[in-house]
Each structure stands twice: as C-alpha cells, then as structure tokens.
Amino acid sequence: MRFTDEVIGAKLLESITGGLYDGNPNCIREYVQNAVDHGAKNIEIRQEMRGRSIVVRDDGPGMNAKDIVKALSIGVSEKDETMAGWRGIGIWSGVPACERLVFITKKCGHPKIRVIVDNEKLRGDYETNIPISSVFLNDITDPIEEPLGKGESIEKTHFTEVRLESILPTQESYYTTENLKNFLQMVVPAPFDETKFKFANEINEWLSSNGVKYRMPNIFFNGKKIVRAPFNADDYYQDVIKPVFCDDNSNVKAVGWILSLKQRAKSKWPKTGILFKKKGFTIGKENTLQQYFTGTFHQWQYGEIHIIDKDVRENSARDGFEYNHGRIQDFLNWIKTEAANWENINRVKVDIGKTDKIKNIRQSIKSGNIRKAKKDLKELEEKIKKPRSYPKAEYLQSLKPHLEQVRSKNLSELSEIKEQIKQIDKEGKSDSLQQLRDMYWTMVDSSYPTPMKQDVKRVRKGHEGDLVIAAFDTVEKQISAKTGLKEAKFIDLTRKAFGWNEVTALNNPKITIDASNKASNRQFGVMIYALYNLFENKFKHEKELETFKWYRDATEEGKLLFRIQLNSIVHFCYRMIESTQASE
C-alpha cells in the first residue's frame, strides 16, 4: 500500500511535543541526553534574559547542514542500545516551552550554521490538516551559515547550542532557577559530591562492579557544576543497603543502593526518595515507586535503582515504564517485594524509635504527673521489647545491628527514667504534696466526665499553679447545649438558664434541678455563677492584687489542696446539671 505525505498531518507533531513535554522541564533532559549520547564531555545550561530564555550548549561533535536536517526528522534515530535516547523525537521537546527554538551548531571542517523553528507558527498549524512536510517547509528555516566567533576555526571548532527563546508565561514556573537546579540534580547523570557525601566511592564501586556503566560528562548550570543527591550522609544509618535483581539464570538486571533515614519524620527530596535510573538518567520522580506498590509505603529511605536490562524500557514521557515490552512484569514484581521489605523495616523503626514518647514521659515527670509517667513508661517499654519480624533478605541484614542499637539505647533511657521515678516515689512517701498530686490526677482520670477531664488537662504550661478552673469551660458548654442559649457572659447564661436575677426570680427557668422548688433552682444558678466569679473570673483579673494574697502566700501543698477542693465542687455542679430536666 502506497501513501503520500498528506496522510501524516501537523496534529502528530502536537502529540509528540505538547503531549509529552507540556507543563514540565523535561525538554532540558532531552537536550542534555542528546549531548551525552553524542559524546559531549562538558554541557552547560544557563539562563539568559532574566530567565526568559534558556541555553543548552555542549562540546560534542556538532552537526553540518545534512546532519541537522536528519536530526529534525521525526521518529528516526541512529542511536544504539548503549545510548540513553532512541525514539528520535527529543529534539522537538522544546516546542511547548517557548516561542522559538534556535539550533546553532558546528562540526569540525564545516561552517557554523543556525536553524530556527517558529513555535508560534507551529502551534497555529496544529489546528489544520496541513501535511507535516508543509509544516517543516513553512515553519523551519533552512540551515543558515553563521560567521565564526572569537577563537573559533573551521578546522577545530565543534559544538551544539540549543536556545529556548522567550519561555511562554504559562511555562515560566517550571523553568525558575530553583526548579531547574533541582530538576538537573535529580534527573541527569551527575556525580556525587565526594567532599560531602562519604559513601560516594563505595556506591560508585558497587554500581561499576555490577555492570552499571554510563557516560557522565561535566554538567554546569549557570556556571556551577551539578552534583546529585544525597548531599551529606549524616541523616542516615551508616550502612549502604545493596539490592540486586537477577533473572532465573542469575543474570543481573538491576542494581540498587539505599540509605535508611535515622529519623522517621516526614521528609522530601533530596533527603528521601527512591529513583529509577537507566543510563544515568532518572525515570519518573522520587516517588514513582509508589505507583507500583499497592500498600502503604513511608518514604524514609534515599536510593537509586539502576536498570541494566535493555528490555525494561521507559515510556515516551519517561515518567514510568512501558508495559508492553520485555520482562517488565518480572521487574515490577521484584520492586513490589523489595518495597514490602523496606516498609517492614520502616515499621520496625516506628516500634523501636519512640523518642517523642520518651520525651513526653520526661515532661509528665517534670509536671508532677508521676502516675501518667509510670503508665506511659510501662506501655512503651512493652512495645519496644516486643519481638518484631525482620525481612529475611540477605542484603538487609547489615542494617539490623543499627536498629538493635537504637532499641537498646531507648530501653536504656527508659531504665534510667524508671530509676528516676523510683527515687521520686521513695522521696514521695513522706511528701504530702506528691501524694496530693497523685490523688488529684487519679480523681481526674477515674471520676471526671470526659469533657471536664480534657479541659482540666488543657492548662497551659507554666500556669499549673494558677487558680483557673478550666472545668468551668465545660460547665458553660454543658449549659448552652442543654438550653440552646448563646450568651457572651457567664452571668447572663446562668441567669437565663436557672431563672434568677440577683436572689429574686427573673423569668421561667430553661432547666430545673428540682421542678417542685423554683427557689432552689435559682439558688443553684446563683451558686454556679458565684463560684465562677469569686474564683476563676476574679483570679484572672486580680491574681496579683491584695485580694488573692492569701493564695499567693500559701504553700504549694495548700494551693493544690484548694484547687482539688474547688474542682470537686465544680464536678458536683457538672453532675447536677447533667441530671437537669427541661422546664415545661
């Protein structure tokens, strides 16, 4: 069957440019990848015009007029399997990002040439059925010979420069200085900073000895050399985990390295993430692994999985893998198994690394709540001591001693706290203040209603000795809930709820303590407000005045005893209100 060029229209070009490269800086990877594949030793990415234009320049062999015409072909590539790119569309990747693509290149013994792609005209042609050959003719200039620059010669000069001129406003956010730097550090084949990352040599030797080999030129961004993460090793356990994926014939198909984060706090790249890499370039992002693992996965590791198997191929967008080629399912099954192992280690870290819980126990001791400290210590000690299953994979065993060391350290710290509590208990036998504290917290925990218990425990740090009864907040909410009243002042709330005005009747009460005795109801309302006003409300405004000198001068034991007694009265009021009946 014979076809003419009219059967391929301009919309195809839109699909392979905007469909793959719109809304991301991946075109920069494509141009770096082309440079790497053609043997460049130095690649420079720089921003010009205050970031409105981006230049990618390499010292590869360059192109003559015939070469660049071939390079602009679609879906035609002479690259072999040793190279990172192979689909023959990457040169077009900058179209969605800018108004113009400009290619300036020179090959030894050939003139320097320039080709301009008018992206604005291309986007206009997307809406038509113009054949691609006509689009090329109308929207792309012929190679134009350029004069040589300073220091350049016909015989020796060679380079290629790709210019993305006038980044579109809708794309600018993807091409900021910070975003481009992070993107390059994550994606391109850059070295570690050996002066800051102590495992650099060990990892490089491990990868090389297992067949991971790729070109690694010097890549610069705005004049500074790009290095890849991690940027230091202090945040991780000091042991590199080294997984290997082999087929049934023991042929190595993928090689990895992983560092496990000491802290189980939520972190982001460049501190955490598992990157898939092929020929040194990243496939997807730091969290791509989670697409292939159906369970919960906490990203508390940093590492790389380098794919050697040529049949495990990235998709066109390079944000994942092709599912219709080669042994991808075997690879993904291996990833799922190992991710489950890594998450198992995460669970062990959670169980043994309860530093926040230990801190809370110490705080309870400091605030005098020894009973709570004892309870929490017992529960935590049982959790840390409880045997946990650990992955059986041989390559993970080197991490186990580090985790056991954390377990031992935390158990040792709990033992110290236990001795501290024993000493406090010993001293507390003759310490009536501590006995009162224990009695108080026992009373709160065992008999107070949940809302009142929560309010009592909500006392701000440093105000534990204030004569402020947080439980009155609960009584106020309780009355409002019972009556539907929404009064700004506590006095108005109790007056309308219990029908009192001073000591005489104000109105019909909303709720009653004793339906047969209205006077008792009013007296109860007055009592509640009197307690609130005489102590909590008055203390807020007059605690430094002569009014409360008696309280300031009291011993800590005396203050605590009074607070216990007062809270008991409020507890009584709460129970009485709880049993009230709505008035008819």
Could you tell me the residue range of the domain that residue 455 belongs to? Answer: 433-582
Q: How far is CA 508 from CA 67, 388, 495, 497, 500, in A?
A: 98, 65, 10, 9, 9
308/327: higher pLDDT: 308
Q: How confident is the model at residue 460 (pLDDT cuts 50, 70, 90)?
A: low
Structure tokens at 77: 């590539």
Q: How confident is the model at residue 76 (pLDDT cuts 50, 70, 90)?
A: low
Pair 419, 447 in one domain: no
- Sequence letter at residue 532: Y
For residue 256, pLDDT over 90 is answered with yes
Mean pLDDT, to the nearest integer, of 4-18? 56
Q: Could you give the 3-state DSSP secondary structure of residue 314?
A: strand
Q: Using DSSP bridges, classify how beta strands 252-260 and 53-58 pair: parallel, antiparallel or unpaired.
A: unpaired
CB-count burial class (<10 Å; 0-12, 13-18, 19+) for 56: buried
- Indicate whether 188 belongs to any domain: no
Q: Using DSSP bridges, classify how beta strands 244-246 and 224-225 pair: parallel, antiparallel or unpaired.
A: unpaired
Mean pLDDT, to the nearest integer, of 211-232? 95
Pair 129, 213 in one domain: no
Choosing from 328, 351, 374, the residue where a domain stops is 351
For residue 430, pLDDT over 60 is answered with no
Task: Name every residue whose Cβ is closer than 8 Å to that of residue 542 and which is 6 or more positions away in sequence.
Answer: 548
pLDDT for 61: 96
Burial 391-414 (b: 16+ CB within 10 A, else e): beeebbeebeebbeebbeebeeeb
pLDDT for 6: 54
For residue 1, pLDDT over 50 is answered with no
Pair 256, 149 in one domain: no
Instruction: Indicate the average pLDDT of the chain.
Output: 83
Q: Using DSSP bridges, classify how beta strands 218-221 and 42-48 pair: parallel, antiparallel or unpaired.
A: parallel
Pair 163, 260 in one domain: no
Mean pLDDT, to the nearest integer, of 342-368? 86
- Indicate whether 501 belongs to any domain: yes
Choosing from 175, 208, 240, the residue where a domain stops is 175
Tally Cβ neighbours within 10 Å of residue 488.
Answer: 6
- Indicate whether 187 belongs to any domain: no
Which residues partner with 314 through β-bridges?
A: 321
pLDDT tens digits, one per residue of 318-348: 888 888 666 788 888 899 999 999 999 888 8
Q: Using DSSP bridges, classify how beta strands 500-501 and 273-278 pair: parallel, antiparallel or unpaired.
A: unpaired
Radius of gyration (C-alpha) of the chain in whole angstroms: 37
Length of the chain: 584
Q: Which of 71-80, 162-171, 313-322 has the highest mean pLDDT?
A: 162-171
Task: Name every residue whose Cβ is closer than 8 Å to that of residue 59 and which is 6 or more positions away in sequence.
Answer: 40, 41, 42, 43, 158, 159
**CA-closest candidate to residue 230, choices 184, 270, 281:** 270
DSSP 8-class letter at 228: P
pLDDT for 468: 53
CB-count burial class (<10 Å; 0-12, 13-18, 19+) for 294: exposed
Pair 366, 475 in one domain: no
Contact assessment for residue 244 and residue 331, using Cβ atoms and an 8 Å cutoff: no
Number of domains in the chain: 4
Pair 446, 533 in one domain: yes
Which residues partner with 282 through β-bridges?
A: 277
For residue 3, pLDDT over 50 is answered with no
Q: How far is CA 190 from CA 35, 45, 259, 306, 490, in A?
A: 14, 13, 19, 14, 68
Mean pLDDT check: name the lowest of 73-77, 79-83, 126-130. Answer: 79-83
Pair 23, 47 in one domain: yes
For residue 498, pLDDT over 80 is answered with no
φ and ψ at residue 457, rounded to 5 degrees: -80, -5
Pair 540, 478 in one domain: yes
Pair 279, 219 in one domain: yes
Choosing from 430, 459, 491, the residue where a domain stops is 430
pLDDT tens digits, one per residue of 365-405: 888 888 889 899 999 999 888 888 899 999 999 999 999 99
- Indicate whether 192 belongs to any domain: no
- Contacts of residues 570-573 at CB distance under 8 Å and 24 or more positions apart, as own/partner, are 570/452, 570/469, 570/471, 570/472, 570/475, 570/531, 571/447, 571/448, 571/452, 571/471, 573/475, 573/527, 573/528, 573/531
- Indicate whether 423 belongs to any domain: yes
Q: Using DSSP bridges, classify how beta strands 273-278 and 301-307 pair: parallel, antiparallel or unpaired.
A: parallel
Separation CA 420–CA 428 (nearest Å): 12
Pair 332, 375 in one domain: no
pLDDT for 75: 57
pLDDT tens digits, one per residue of 98-122: 999 999 999 999 999 999 999 888 8
- Indicate whether 183 belongs to any domain: no
For residue 129, pLDDT over 90 is answered with no
Structure tokens at 152: 């350049």
pLDDT for 87: 55
- Indicate whether 520 belongs to any domain: yes
101/538: higher pLDDT: 101
pLDDT tens digits, one per residue of 163-210: 999 999 999 999 999 999 999 999 999 999 999 999 999 999 999 999
pLDDT tens digits, one per residue of 539-566: 776 777 777 787 778 777 777 777 777 7
For residue 528, pLDDT over 90 is answered with no
pLDDT for 7: 46
Mean pLDDT, to the nearest integer, of 118-145? 81
Residue 325 CA, chain-centre distance (Å), reads: 33
Pair 437, 566 in one domain: yes
Q: How confident is the model at residue 487 (pLDDT cuts 50, 70, 90)?
A: confident
Mean pLDDT check: name the lowest of 90-104, 188-202, 261-275, 402-416. Answer: 261-275
For a pLDDT cut of 70, what percent of the chain falls above it? Answer: 86
448/222: higher pLDDT: 222
φ and ψ at residue 290, rounded to 5 degrees: -65, -15
Pair 377, 337 in one domain: no
